[in-house]
Chains A and B, each alone.
Chain A
């Protein structure tokens, strides 16, 4: 399981063998039209190391059965491994208890769980929900649905020209009607890292709970939910070198217990008669039906893999890649970087004068370079910068400086074609 010598953990990242770590990812050996794959779409989904692939194979070949049900050997093994995965996630985010970690189908599902479980029970007509301009659609649309249903109101924190939240404006939005805050930790479109600790503390001084959308943060920043004191924290496995179809919602136990269930079904009940159903305890109350057992166990393996390298080392390595890429792209005439926050993860959204992002994406693909083009499910940000769409290169710890160079060459090719 160990990709690296863990005794190196306390040292700085250059001592890690990043080339050896890169070799853990079989997909990076792919050729696209004869050109080596240069995968710069990690903010959309990251790739999976052999260690996680092997874990999934081992589960399917020797450990699979349904969980929490039968008394036979396989069911007991699967139940235990599923629980172990939950405990790894608990450790990863430093939650106080394992029952505060709920497996969901991903970040979107986690946010919808909070909207239904908390929002529908506690948000009333006239109440206000604070969101920010940087939110992904997944942390906008559920709250709009709730606001429509309840007659509540959405208030939005603006951003400045660098793509940073205007925290003063955030603070001014609070009043006695404010009942909830939904806040993205790291912007998927721009890479901005938000000052969430300060914002959580401020909300708590007004007695308002805070949900953090951590989909883009968990792969790059050490998360300590107790230190942050957030009420909810959500992220997905597939952006953390794990499988699709699984994610978690962290919630403070007292809040989760006070909430109503989101989905009804098997496993989330203590007893059922046609007159009355008594709900199970957390986390089971929120895990109706057979969960994505294999994916959750793969998620656990991915977390173990990342913790072996050390998120702090990953962050340091990626930040040096970001600095290099930012320097290279800033020097290119006709190229504009959108989102220049002081605190950023390794994401560069950019435009090229006179070329539509989709044409950029198609031409870069010709050189095997995978970037994301479009509005990144964050249309309010595009509107703020007055662009219909951008191209986005997002880096992971398995990317190399030579891949940044290839991106620069690719952009020059685009400019040559559209001269």
Chain B
């Protein structure tokens, strides 16, 4: 795959101007995601009422892929039910790891812009970290790590 098709304008735009960036004052669910291989950290807070995500925000230091993925994720799940969010989490992970056929019906919409990541195994974790962290927050876990996810054990970071 040509890398340019990954660094598309929509991803660069979300990196430059991340949506829902910051921390919610009245969050009732919260998790910190960590990718120990590159040191990236992501903080996700959300307001979950009657199993519906009424508000969500993220902050942290990360690469463009991770930040854009987080930003687009927040816009995609805001207002959605917990079950719908979990469906998106599942589909996004399948997309990033190359297991999803994007020609089949799915709920990802513009998020399919990340489909090229499947050809860059060392970057898959960057795209998945926000989703991983959202899953942790929804399930009242306080932290998430890319290293605990068996589906994304392809990246390494040796000297």
Contact = CB atoms under 8 A, between A and B. Distances in A.
Decide whether A and B assemble into one complex.
Answer: yes
Contact of B2 (A33, A356, A418): A33
Nearest to B40: A388
B156 to A, nearest CB: 10
Contact of B159 (A43, A359, A382, A418): A43
Interface residues of A, number: 27
Contacts of A365: 3
Given A44-B158, A359-B64, A418-B12, A366 B39 contact: no
Interface string B121-159: 001001000000000000000000000000000000111
Nearest to B62: A356
Contact of A388 (B7, B61, B120, B157): B61
A299 B56 CA distance: 56
Contact of A363 (B7, B40, B126, B157): B7
Contacts of B40: 388
Contact of A389 (B39, B64, B65): B39
B159 A44 contact: yes
A1 interface: no
Interface in B32-46: 37-40
Interface in B1-26: 2-4, 6-7, 12, 15
B63 interface: yes
A365 B121 CA distance: 13
B34 to A, nearest CB: 12
Given A358-B63, A358-B65, A382 B3 contact: no
Contacts of B6: 362
Interface in A72-110: none
B64 A356 contact: yes
Contacts of B65: 358-359, 362
A136 interface: yes
Given A355-B64, A362-B3, A365-B3, A388 B159 contact: no
B48 to A, nearest CB: 30
Interface in A346-392: 355-359, 362-363, 365-366, 372-379, 382, 388-389
User: Which among A355, A362, A375 has the greatest number of chain B C-beta atoms within 10 A?
Assistant: A362
Contacts of A399: none
A44 B156 CA distance: 13
Nearest to A239: B159
A382 B6 CA distance: 28
Contacts of A46: none
B69 to A, nearest CB: 13
Contacts of B39: 375, 379, 382, 388-389
A345 interface: no
A188 interface: yes
B38 A389 contact: yes
Q: Which of B3, B6, B37, B62 has the most CB of A within 10 A?
A: B3
A374 B120 contact: no
Interface in A119-161: 136
Contacts of A358: 38, 63, 65, 123, 126
Nearest to A379: B39
A20 B38 CA distance: 38
A268 to B, nearest CB: 29
B63 A372 contact: no
A366 B38 contact: no
A153 to B, nearest CB: 26
Given A357-B38, A358-B126, A359-B65, 16 more contacts: A33-B2, A136-B159, A356-B62, A357-B63, A362-B3, A362-B120, A362-B123, A374-B37, A375-B38, A375-B157, A377-B158, A377-B159, A378-B159, A388-B38, A389-B38, A418-B15
Q: Which 8 A-B pairs have the closest CB atoms?
A: A356-B63, A366-B3, A377-B159, A358-B63, A388-B39, A359-B64, A374-B157, A359-B63
